[in-house]
Amino acid sequence: MDSPGGFGNFSYDLAHLLGGAVLVLTFGLLYQRRLTAVINTYSVQSWALAAAAAWQGWVQGSAELYVAALIALSVKGVVIPIALHRIVRRLDIHRTVEAAMGVFPSMALGVALVVLAILLVLPSTMESQVLTREDLALALSVVLLGHLMLITRRTALTQVVGFMSIENGLILGAVGVRGMPLVVELSVAVLVLVGAVVFGVFFFRIRERFDSLDDSHLDRVGEAHR
């Protein structure tokens, strides 16, 4: 397929749509209050990422990107959400997520971060291929929203989901880059797997200590423990 052009070009529009879908779902992660809903939203976000990667694979004629799409779909879209749901059931933490910030302020901040990403990426990538620069702006937005989620959420589980949504944003950026070798995608995929194991260990440690996954108990204030 030919190099994609601007608006009105089908491959460009669809890539944009899928990248946009990932971004919108990241906003969903920001305002969801129930744990199960957060996990489900993450799962759908990963599907959107898989679709975006697969479409890039088609547009760029690159088989590696299909592999990246498959990893996103199977591991992040299915396996990890199932594992997280099991943790939620096993630890019986079907409660609302405690956030440090209300819905409106976090949404407003989120929009501000997206504007920041666009202002940062678009001017500095003026001469680059159109597809890449829009994708990069979307990816950076997803990454920054993930950072926001890490900061505003108090429970370890939602922080982990925030971290994984950051990884989704990073991959969204990497797949949009024409001809980038698979190295990056593979390393991130491995990372997410390893990460999931790490967090699994952590949950149980934190659980043993505090009977909850809320890390606001972990504040050193007054050095209550010891």
Partner 1 sequence: MTEILIIVEWVRELFSAPGLVVMVPLAAAAGLAFVTDARLGARITIGAATLAFLLACALPWEPRAGLLLLVDPLAAHMAILTSFVGMTASWFSRGYVAVEAAAGRLDARRLRAYHALFQAYLGFMLMALLSNNVPATWGSIEAATIASVLVVGLPRTAEAVEASWKQFLVCGLGISMAFFGTTVLYLAAVPALGSGLPAMSWNRLPAAAPEFHAAMLNLAFAFLLLGYGTKAALAPLHAWLPDAHAEGPTPVSAVLSGSILNVALFVILRLRGLLDANAGAIAPGPPIMALGLATVLMASFSLWPRRDVKRFFGFSTIEHSGVAAFAFGLGGPAATFAGLLHMTLHTLTKAAIFHCVGRAAQLKGGQFFTDIGGLLVCHRALGLTLAAGIVAVAGLPPFGLFTSEFLVLTETVHRLPWLAVPLALGLLVGSWALAMRLISLCLGAPTPDRGPAPGLPALVPAWVHLAAVLVLGLTMPAPIAAWLAAIAGAAP
- Site residues (vs partner 1, CB under 8 A): 63-64, 120-121, 123-128, 132, 136, 139-140, 143, 146-147, 150, 156, 159, 163, 166-167, 170, 173-174, 177-184, 187-188, 190-191, 194-195, 198, 201-202, 205-206, 209, 215, 218, 220, 225-226
Q: How far is the CB of 141 from partner 1 (least distance, A)?
A: 11
The smaller minimum CB distance to partner 1, of residues 8 and 201, is found at 201
The smaller minimum CB distance to partner 1, of residues 85 and 217, is found at 217
Distance CA 35, CA 133 (A): 34
The dihedral formed by the CA atoms of 7, 11, 16 and 21, expressed in degrees to the nearest 10: 140
Q: How far is the CB of 210 from partner 1 (least distance, A)?
A: 8
Q: How far is the CB of 33 from partner 1 (least distance, A)?
A: 21
Q: How far is the CB of 72 from partner 1 (least distance, A)?
A: 16
DSSP label at residue 222: G
| CA dihedral sign of residues 37, 38, 40, 41 | positive
The smaller minimum CB distance to partner 1, of residues 1 and 8, is found at 1
H helices, E strands: number in the chain: 8, 0
Q: For residue 90, what are its two tokens?
A: 């096993």
The smaller minimum CB distance to partner 1, of residues 23 and 156, is found at 156
The smaller minimum CB distance to partner 1, of residues 8 and 123, is found at 123
Q: Which residues face 99 on adjacent strands?
A: 153
Q: How far is the CB of 16 from partner 1 (least distance, A)?
A: 18
Q: How far is the CB of 102 from partner 1 (least distance, A)?
A: 22
Distance CA 181, CA 44 (A): 26
* Residue 152 near residue 99, CB atoms below 8 Å: yes
Rg (CA), the chain: 18
Any idea how long the chain is?
Answer: 226
The smaller minimum CB distance to partner 1, of residues 8 and 219, is found at 219
Taking alpha carbons only, the member of 83, 223, 205 closest to residue 156 is 205
Distance CA 23, CA 45 (A): 8
